Structures are given as structure tokens and as C-alpha cells.
Amino acid sequence: MNNLLEIKNLYKNYQTISEEIIVLKNINFKLKRGELLALVGPSGIGKSTLLSIISGLEKPSKGVIKKNKDLIISYMLQDNSLMPFLNVLDNCSLGLKIKNKYNKESKKEIINMLNKYGLKDYIYSYPDELSGGQKQRVSLVRALSVNPDLLLLDEPFSKLDYKTKLDISYDVRNILKKENKSMIMVTHDIEEAINICDRVIVLSKNNNSIKSVYEIDYERNIGDKTNDKFLEYYNRIWRDLDG
Ligand SMILES: Nc1ncnc2c1ncn2[C@@H]1O[C@H](COP(=O)(O)OP(=O)(O)OP(=O)(O)O)[C@@H](O)[C@H]1O
Ligand SMILES: [Mg+2]
């Protein structure tokens, strides 16, 4: 199967004491192996819910998700869920330890990634001692550490300064492309979506469904906001979100 994932007629409702909330309605899309996909849309539309459903943490109310049984999925949740009682290195190696795959080599790889993302001096620190952006970078290393086929990232760079965000965006896109990995990333940042991803799906509040889909195909130069194609994508996505 060339598609890593296929979502068909997916619906999600939540039942609260007083009402039924419709979160997602008739969502359909496919994800190819090696494809990097961004999900954008207003707050409360159901982006995190959709990632949780894809990860298997939540069940859809209706619809089908087709995915390979032995697909390794790594999920970086929106409000990162680092274990407070484990230091940075132990947090990042937890996934491999659970799978019994932690060894000297993987330890070295994790430490290299932490160094690369500016966390050299925090390897033995605890989550409480880190800033929001540092915690996000640790969560990203943790998500990458298990060498997943599919990476699910929920607003992974929202707390990073602009320059760090560009550097890490560039790096993550390169790593995933080089290894032909796939990703679905939720973001409110249109620039980030265009910089990193091959396709952007816009979710609309009007009908809780997909409003538009953009194939992002141009000569990328991350950080360059003067490129005509970049501006065209940006303006079209912005208009869709606005309207
Ligand atoms: N367990 C739950 N029970 C009831 N309602 C829920 C539950 N989880 C999420 N919701 C509701 O579902 C809707 C979608 O939530 P979700 O977190 O998926 O939105 P989002 O698009 O990720 O928003 P944001 O951009 O603010 O992160 C919201 O109205 C939220 O209140
Ligand atoms: Mg969310």
C-alpha cells in the first residue's frame, strides 16, 4: 500500500451532560508514505481530537481509519506530557526502554539530538526546571527517538522563538524527508505549515469539515517571505481561515 493511512467518512461527537457537541464531520483524506501534512483551523475545531483518533487514543463516533497494523506512530501531544519525575534523558529514552530497544547506540543518538536542539546543558534536568520551549524540544526528541513511521505533532513549535522555530522546522523536514517518514502536524502558524509540509488541510468552523487542501510545491527557502509562491499559498490559506 502506497498510502500509509486512509481516513474515510470520519465523525466525532462528544456527549456532555447538557448537550452533544459535534467536533468533526465527514473527514476524508489519505496520507502517502513520506508525506508531510499540516492541519490548520480555528481553535476548538477538533484538530487535537483528530490526532488522538489517528493515534488510537480516542475512538471515532463513526467512520473508518485504515492503517497498517505494525505502523510505528509517535504522538507529541499539545501540552507535552513529559514525566515530571524523570530527567530529560530518561524522558527521551522511555519509549525505547518500553520496547526493550535502548542501548549504548540509541543513548548516543538521543544525546546527539538533544545537543543539536540546544539542550546540551539540560540532559539531567527535570521538566520543572525547563522553559516551555525547552520542554517542547525535549518532547520532539522523545517523539523522534523511537524512529516512527508516522509522527503526529500537535503545535510542536508554538513556544519557540522565531529563529529557533525556523532552524528546527528546517531540520525536522530534512530528517523526515531523508528517511521517507510521514508526519501530520497541527499548527496555527501558516508560515510553518508551508515551510515544512507537502500538503496543508484547512478545517472550517462552518461545517466542522475540510474546507480546502493545498499541495505545497515550490522551491523552499525557509525564512524567505518574499517568494511569490509562498505569498500566494499564505494568502489563500489565510483567506480560507478568515472566511
Ligand atoms: N473529552 C472531551 N469531552 C467533551 N468535549 C471535548 C473533549 N475533548 C475535546 N472536547 C471538545 O471538542 C472540541 C475540539 O477540541 P480540540 O482540542 O480537538 O480542538 P483543537 O482544534 O485542537 O483546538 P486548539 O486549536 O485550541 O488546540 C472542543 O469544543 C472541546 O471542548
Ligand atoms: Mg488542539
Question: Are both 19 and 42 inside the same structural domain?
Answer: yes
**What is the average pLDDT value for the chain, to the nearest integer?**
93
Question: Are both 101 and 127 inside the same structural domain?
Answer: yes
Q: State how far the Cα of 235 lies from the Cα of 230, in Å rounded to an integer.
A: 9
Q: State how far the Cα of 27 lies from the Cα of 144, in Å rounded to an integer.
A: 27
Instruction: Give the mean pLDDT of 51-75.
Output: 94
Q: State how far the Cα of 138 lies from the Cα of 107, in Å rounded to an integer.
A: 14
H-helix or E-strand spanning residue 101:
none
Q: Write the CB contacts of 149 (distance below 8 Å, at least 6 apart in sequence).
A: 4, 33, 71, 72, 73, 181, 182
Question: Are both 67 and 186 inside the same structural domain?
Answer: yes
pLDDT bracket for residue 221 (50, 70, 90): confident
pLDDT bracket for residue 79 (50, 70, 90): confident
Question: Are both 153 and 41 inside the same structural domain?
Answer: yes
First to last CA, the chain: 37
Question: Are both 160 and 55 inside the same structural domain?
Answer: yes
Question: Are both 5 and 63 inside the same structural domain?
Answer: yes
pLDDT of residue 46: 96
pLDDT of residue 211: 96
Question: Are both 130 and 63 inside the same structural domain?
Answer: no
pLDDT, tens digit, 9 for 90 and up, residues 187-204: 999 999 999 999 999 999
Instruction: Give the mean pLDDT of 148-173.
Output: 92
Instruction: Give the mean pLDDT of 93-110.
Output: 95
Q: Say whether pLDDT at 85 is over 70.
A: yes
CB of 51 closer than 6 A to ligand 1?
A: no
Q: State how far the Cα of 161 lies from the Cα of 171, in Å rounded to an integer.
A: 15
Give the CA diameter of the chain. Answer: 54
Angle at 147 between CA 54 and CA 71, to 5 degrees: 40
Q: Say whether pLDDT at 207 is over 60.
A: yes
User: Would you say residue 131 lies in a domain?
Assistant: yes
Nearest to 11 by CA among 23, 29, 3: 23
Q: Which ligand is in closest contact with the Cα of 188? A: 1
Please count the CA atoms within 13 angstroms of the CA of 167 that sit on its side-chain side.
9
Ligand 1 pocket: which of 49, 205, 210 to mutate (most atoms within 8 A of CB): 49
User: Would you say residue 171 lies in a domain?
Assistant: no
132-145 and 88-98 helices, crossing angle to 10°:
20
CB of 18 closer than 6 A to ligand 1?
A: no
H-helix or E-strand spanning residue 154:
strand 150-154
Percent of the chain whose predicted confidence (pLDDT) is above 90 = 84
Q: State how far the Cα of 34 lies from the Cα of 56, in Å rounded to an integer.
A: 21
Question: Are both 159 and 142 inside the same structural domain?
Answer: no
pLDDT, tens digit, 9 for 90 and up, residues 37-56: 999 999 999 999 999 999 99
Return the amino acid letter for 19. E
CB of 49 closer than 6 A to ligand 1?
A: yes
Q: Ligand 2 centroid to 121 CA: how many Å? A: 30
- Count the domains in the chain: 2
Question: Are both 211 and 138 inside the same structural domain?
Answer: no
pLDDT of residue 242: 74
User: Would you say residue 218 lies in a domain?
Assistant: yes
User: Would you say residue 24 lies in a domain?
Assistant: yes
CATH number, domain containing residue 194: 3.40.50.300
Q: State how far the Cα of 60 lies from the Cα of 7, in Å rounded to an integer.
A: 11
Checking DSSP bridges between strand 36-40 and strand 62-67, what pairing results, if any?
A: unpaired
Question: Are both 131 and 154 inside the same structural domain?
Answer: no
Q: Ligand 2 centroid to 76 CA: how many Å? A: 11
Q: Which domain holds residue 219?
A: 1-72+149-164+177-243
Question: Are both 15 and 113 inside the same structural domain?
Answer: no
Q: Say whether pLDDT at 222 is over 90.
A: no
Q: Say whether pLDDT at 168 is over 70.
A: yes
pLDDT of residue 1: 55
User: Would you say residue 59 lies in a domain?
Assistant: yes
Q: Say whether pLDDT at 80 is over 80.
A: no
User: Would you say residue 80 lies in a domain?
Assistant: no
Return the amino acid letter for 10. L
Q: Say whether pLDDT at 208 is over 60.
A: yes
pLDDT bracket for residue 2 (50, 70, 90): confident
Q: Which ligand is in closest contact with the Cα of 43? A: 1
pLDDT of residue 243: 66
Q: Ligand 1 centroid to 204 CA: how many Å? A: 14
Instruction: Give the mean pLDDT of 86-102.
Output: 95
User: Would you say residue 14 lies in a domain?
Assistant: yes
Question: Are both 36 and 25 inside the same structural domain?
Answer: yes
CB of 21 closer than 6 A to ligand 1?
A: yes
- Residue 238 CA from chain centroid, whole number: 20
User: Would you say residue 79 lies in a domain?
Assistant: no
pLDDT bracket for residue 69 (50, 70, 90): confident
Residue 168, class by beta-carbon neighbours within 10 Å (0-12 exposed, 13-18 middle, 19+ buried)? buried
Q: With the C-alpha atoms ordered 135, 139, 140, 146, is the resulting torsion angle positive or negative?
A: positive
Nearest to 129 by CA among 73, 76, 85: 85
CB of 48 closer than 6 A to ligand 1?
A: yes
